[in-house]
Amino acid sequence: MSSSVIDPAVIPRMRARPRASLQDWLPRIVLAPSFAVILVFVYGFILWTVWLSFTHSRMMPVYALTGFDSYARLFAQPSWWMALKNIAIFGVLYVVICIALGLTLAILLDQKIRIEGVLRPIYLYPMAVSFIVTGTAWKWFLNPGTGLEKTMHDWGWTSFQFDWLVNADMAIYTIVIAGVWQATGFCMAMFLAGLRGIDGEILKAAQIDGASTYATYRRIVIPALRPVFLSAFIVLTHMAIKSYDLVIALTGGGPGNATELPSTFMYSYTFTRNQMSVGAASAVIMLMTVAAIIVPYLYSELRERRQ
Amino acid sequence: MSGRVEGSMAGGGSAVSRVVIYGLLLVFAAIFLTPLFVMLITSLKSLDEIRDGNMLSLPQSPTIAPWLSAWGTACIGLTCNGIKGYFGNSIMMVVPAVAISTILGSLNGFVLTKFRFPGHKLIFALMLFACFIPFQAVLIPVARVLGMVGLGNSIGGLILVHVVYGLGFTTLFFRNYYEAFPTELIRAAMIDGAGFFQIFRRILLPASGPIIIVTVIFQFTNIWNDFLFGSSFASGDGVPMTVALNNLVNTSTGVKEYNVDMAAAMIAALPTLLVYVVAGRYFVRGLMAGAVKG
């Protein structure tokens, strides 16, 4: 690797020009502001948040350390437990259904479908539009008084009931439906790219050997997609933990706090309930969860590339 | 994604299985399109028609009045000037933020692939991880600092925030792209006496078309669609489009004008939808580059 890279300490010396020393340093000078900004705005601010989580900050930050009090208060909040329960339900269903549906769509699309060029963008467009936008339609659609339930009643099916959006026990599943709708196309695109990367010769050989389509997929195609499963899992888990617009647009966390997620919990405790240290503590927990998933993944990706 | 159009399986199969496959694919397409379809037809109906009619039926007498109202006269909070001002806010925020983060990303990518200095791997790793942090972990300090330096509740503050938290991604995109760029060309130019910026402008930039498009689209979509930063660091007349839309939809005073809500949502969606329709290929590449590195 090092042979394909310019060593600025060597070439400029050969030129032996007065500007050489500036040219030596220029790459570093160019990179420095970006790096400094990330160091401060990302890592410095994370430390700042961690510090605040160990204080009694309420509306304004105070910096006197008070140990793990905020964490104790955080875990004494029923709505935080609600948020944890919801992120578990939402996260698992969202990741599993997106992967299952995305893989299904990708396999179906991979059967020499003539209108693939039309269908692919249709499956993927939800990723291009803010959920604040599409959420207005979803909210309307899921609302018993205006959407699906009313439509079914209009069509004569008067006993039809679909009130999940306003039902505290079921509302979290409407978040799952909308989230799956938004991210499935993205999963499909990842799997489709994976499918197109499989060596056609192997598949041909399997077919000549008389393997059924089902057996070919089960024994050759799906195992070959392992890295895509891993990427999809990482990306979706990360997106699930960061999900915020989804809840705000659809339920605003309600009814009651039935659809509270850690992301909405953090926002409301910090900015509207004046419990900044509790909000900071919840943010730290979110960060640690994401880091536990992302860091090993990035580490292995960077290592692989070095070889 | 691009490349081979035909499937990797030999395809064929019985006519029945072909029908089933096409049927399934079309059903899914219909499900995916329904929210957009409902938004569009509802935005073209009068309130009476919405109340009496069916959610999925086409407008009997299409009207663009809801669109005009959403743009110019709908009430958000206490002001009734529609969403045009907020649309403008978003434009004023997106254009500089995308330009600055893309330019910095390309310079960073150049430095990180073609020069070596102590710690370059650590620097890249730290920039890469910055892409993935949940923003909740920096929300409080950013709000404090923007307030302290007088950028609270301003477009300038939002631009700064979007540039900073987009830098990781833009750097990643350009770094992966420049890694494949022949280093010999740059070495030769250096021996000929070309300086850093000369090489960047004359040799690297002309070859960067595709990755610039990918980066610009990725950043544009992300920043236009952002809600968390907009709702945390702006208020009143200074909020971007997404926040204004959410306020409009959740305004509970007076008669609920669903058609105006939907028209406003369509207007908010148009810029990113347009980009997606025109350059969807590049949008997908950006998503994949952000998801699967290497």
Q: What is the DSSP string of B156-190?
A: HHHHHHHHHHHHHHHHHHHHHHHTTS-HHHHHHHH
Q: Please, where are the H alpha helices in B44-83?
A: 47-52, 65-72
Which pLDDT does position B8 carry in this prediction? 45
Residue A9's pLDDT is 43
Contact (Cβ atoms closer than 8 angstroms) between residue B25 and residue A109: yes
Q: Are B279 and B197 in a shared domain?
A: yes
Q: What is the pLDDT of residue A305?
A: 60
On whether any CB of chain A is under 8 Å from the CB of B19, the answer is no
Same domain, B53 and B192: no
Its ipTM equals: 0.86
Residues B113 and B79 in one domain: yes
Question: Which residues form the domain of B78?
Answer: 73-293
**Same-domain status, B184 and B255:** yes
Domain end position, chosen among B31, B50, B66:
B66
Statement to judge: residues B144 and B92 lie in one domain: yes
Same domain, B32 and B49: yes
Q: Which residues of B touch A87 (CB under 8 A)?
A: none
Query: pLDDT band at residue B7, thresholds of 50, 70 and 90?
Result: very low
Mean pLDDT of all residues in B17-24 = 90
- Residue B88's domain is classified under what CATH number? 1.10.3720.10
Lowest mean pLDDT among A128-132, A301-305, B103-107, B177-181: A301-305
- Report the residue from A35, A49, A123 with minimal CB separation from B28: A123
Q: How many domains does chain B have?
A: 2
Q: Are B127 and B272 members of one domain?
A: yes
Separation between Cα atoms, residue B187 and residue B176, nearest integer Å:
19
> Could you tell me if B207 and B129 lie in one domain?
yes
Contact across the interface for B126 and A39, Cβ inside 8 Å: yes
Structure tokens at B37: 């379809």
* pLDDT greater than 70 at residue A37: yes
Q: Position B117: which residue type?
A: F
pLDDT of residue A203: 83
Chain B residues within 8 A of A190 when measuring between CB atoms:
288, 291-292
Query: Cα(B43)–Cα(B262) distance, rounded to whole angstroms?
Result: 5
A113 at the B interface (CB within 8 A)? yes
Distance from the A200 Cα atom to the nearest Cα atom in chain B, whole angstroms: 6
Contact between B225 and A34 using a beta-carbon 8 Å cutoff: no
Taking the mean position of all CA atoms in its chain, how far away is CA B285?
Answer: 13
- What are the structural domain ranges in chain A? 2-53, 71-306
- Residue A122 tokens read as 């249709």
Q: Are residues B213 and B251 in the same domain?
A: yes
* CB spacing of A132 vs B246 below 8 angstroms: yes
For residues B194 and A76, give the distance between their C-alpha atoms in angstroms, rounded to a whole number.
Answer: 64
B133 and B225, same domain (yes or no)? yes
| Chain B residues in contact with A110 (beta carbon < 8 A) | 7-9
* Token code pair at residue A251: 């339920």
Q: Which CATH superfamily is domain A71-306 in?
A: MetI-like (1.10.3720.10)
Residue of A5, A124, A203 lying closest to B284 (CB–CB): A124
Pick from A119, A198, A235: CB nearest B29: A119
- The minimum CA-CA distance between B35 and chain A, rounded to whole Å, is 5
With 90 as the cut, is the pLDDT of residue B170 above it? yes
Residues B227 and B86 occupy one common structural domain: yes
The CA-atom distances, in angstroms, between B19 and each of A262, B13, B14, B36, B39 are 44, 10, 9, 26, 30
Query: Rounded to a whole number, what is the distance in Å from the CA of B1 to chain A's nearest CA?
Result: 5
Smallest Cβ distance to B294: which of A132, A252, A305?
A: A305
A220 touches chain B (CB under 8 A): no
Partner-chain contact A195 B8, CB within 8 Å: yes
Name which residue leads in pLDDT, A247 or A24. A247
Segment among A10-19, A77-86, B71-80, B186-195 with least mean pLDDT: A10-19
Together in a domain, B201 and B241 = yes
pLDDT for B47 equals 85
Last residue of a domain, one of B66, B90, B109: B66
Nearest CA in chain B to A281: B137
- Three-state SS for chain A is CHHHCECCCCHHHHHCCCCHHHHHHHHHHHHHHHHHHHHHHHHHHHHHHHHHHCCCCCCCCCCCCCCCHHHHHHCCCHHHHHHHHHHHHHHHHHHHHHHHHHHHHHHHHCCCCCCHHHHHHHHHHHHHCCHHHHHHHHHHHHCCCCCHHHHHHHCCCCCCCCCHHHCCCCHHHHHHHHHHHHHHHHHHHHHHHHHHCCCHHHHHHHHHCCCCHHHHHHHHHHHHCHHHHHHHHHHHHHHHHHCCHHHHHHCCCCCCCCCCCHHHHHHHHHHHCCCHHHHHHHHHHHHHHHHHHHHHHHHHHHHHHHC
The model's pLDDT over A178-213, given as tens digits with 9 standing for 90+, comes to 999 999 999 999 999 899 888 888 888 888 888 888
CB contact under 8 A, A196 and B134: no
Chain A contact present for B119, CB below 8 A: no
Q: Find, among B65, B66, B221, B21, the residue nearest to A112 by Cα.
A: B21
Contact A266 B136 (CB under 8 A): yes
Average pLDDT over chain A reads 86
**Residue A299 pLDDT level (bands cut at 50, 70, 90):** confident
